[in-house]
Every structure is written in C-alpha cells, then in structure tokens.
Amino acid sequence: MSSDPASPVRPASSRQWFIAIAALVIGLAGGAWGGYEYARRAENATPKVVITDEQLAARDAAVQQSQAESRFLRAQLDTAEGEMAVERAARLELEAQLRAAQEELGSVRERLAFFEQLLPPGPEGTVDIRGAEVLREGAGLKYRVLLMRSGRPGSPFTGSLQFQATGVLKGEDVTLDLLPLQRKAEGTPPVEEASADSDPADALPVKFDQYQRSEGVLDLPEGFVPETVVVNVLEGTTVRASRTVKLPL
C-alpha cells in the first residue's frame, strides 16, 4: 500500500505558521508596551506649569488695566474727533465771514470811487460839495454826498444840508424841500448827528474839520415826481456850496 508523500509535511508547516503568528503577536505587544512606557516617561519628564491664585489675580488685573487703557484711548480719540469737527465748523464760518467782508470791501471801494470825484479846491477853509448822487429808490430818493474843506482850517465847520427838489405835483411844476427818512453820516471828528427834538428844517446838521460823507433816503410827497434835486450846504441861512443833480428818467 503506497503512502501520500505530502502528508508528513503538513504538521511541520502548521507549526511554523503558529510560531510566526505567535512571534508577531509578541512583537506587537512588546512594541505597544514600549510605546506606552516611552509616553509615560516623556510625560513625567515634561515640566508642568502651575498657576497660583495670586498669579491668576495679577493676570486678571493686567487684562482689566489693558481694557481700561483701551477705553481711555477711545475716549481721547472721540474727543479729538469732536474737536476737529468743531474746528472744521469754525473754519467754514470764518470763510463765510471772509467772503462777506470781501463783498463789503467791494461795496466800500465802489463808494470810495464815487467820493473820489474831486473838484479843484477853493481858498483855504472853503466848504465844497466834492460829490453828490441822487437816485430813485422805492417811494423815496437815495442820496450820497461828500463834503470837504480845503487847506487846514482852524475850527470845525458847522452848518446843515438842504435838499430842494423841482418836479411835477398834481400837474403843476413845484419846488419842495425834502426831508430824510433815514440818514448815515461819516466824517472826521467831531461829527454831530441830529437830535430827536431838532427842528425839521435843521434835520441834517453837519459839523466837521476836513470832510464828511453823508448818505440816506429822502421822503417824497405822494404824487410828486422829482426831476432835479439841488443840494445846498448852509451856514446859518447862507449858502456856502450848492450842487444840482438831474434825476435819470
């Protein structure tokens, strides 16, 4: 009876596989144990940081101080921004005032050009009307007059301004004295304005050393159409200077 030649080999092969598997398991177990020991030793070797209550309180205090400083800086920033806004508004206001002053300066220059219509001077101390302008304005007449004295007079001139208008009233040619609605005068000191209880005929007194500028609005009677206006400078009842102004049509 013949035997199978492969049958004696199987038991030896099974033992070899068992041994190999056992060795693998033992190797894995040893590696795991070794890793565990290495990790444990490494953990024991790493220094641990312990924070005390005092250190924790100091850290919280530092955080609170930093937050307080941050709020303080924010408040300063807000204050600075508010001041900048105020300064910006003030600058804009100053620019508006400067523009208004420039416009006023232009108006003053126009008036100065009018007042600089100089005539040849007379004898020393003589009063002269160096410029006179009368224009219609609403229901009245707007006037501007420049009075000057030649030379270096020793005492102020004292007198009055008189306005006489020639025109048509109710179909007739008439001449009327015109009284002011309002008046503004400038001149070298001393300058005296009309008092509240002055007589209407003396409503425009003048008193000056070298020059006086006077402007205002004259009242017109209802229905009166003026054609010319005569400006007289009176000293008492004596006419010292006169100028006739023809009104534009």
Q: pLDDT tens digits for 5-31?
A: 444 445 555 666 667 676 666 766 666
Contact 115, 146 (CB under 8 A): yes
Provide the pLDDT for residue 187.
53
Q: What is the DSSP string of the chain?
A: -PPPTTTTHHHHHHHHHHHHHHHHHHHHHHHHHHHHHHHHHHHHHSPPP---HHHHHHHHHHHHHHHHHHHHHHHHHHHHHHHHHHHHHHHHHHHHHHHHHHHHHHHHHHHHHHHT------STT-EEEEEEEEEEETTEEEEEEEEEE-S--SS-EEEEEEEEEEEEETTEEEEEE--EEEEEEEESSP--PPPTT--GGGSSEEEESSEEEEEEEEE--TTEEEEEEEEEEEETTEEEEEEEEEPP-
Burial 72-95 (b: 16+ CB within 10 A, else e): eeeeeeeeeeeeeeeeeeeeeeee
Q: How far apart, in whole angstroms, are the C-alpha atoms of residue 98 and residue 121? A: 38
Contact 207, 191 (CB under 8 A): yes
Q: pLDDT tens digits for 54-70?
A: 888 888 888 888 888 88
Q: What is the DSSP string of 66-113?
A: HHHHHHHHHHHHHHHHHHHHHHHHHHHHHHHHHHHHHHHHHHHHHHHH
More confident site: 51 or 88: 88
Residue 151 has pLDDT above 90, yes or no: no
**Mean of pLDDT over the chain:** 77
Residue 240 has pLDDT above 80, yes or no: yes
**Residues in Cβ contact with 192 at an 8 Å cutoff, skipping those fewer than 6 apart:** 205, 207
Global pTM value = 0.47
Q: How far apart, in whole angstroms, are the C-alpha atoms of residue 196 and residue 216? A: 17
Q: pLDDT tens digits for 156-193?
A: 888 999 999 999 999 999 999 998 876 555 554 433 33
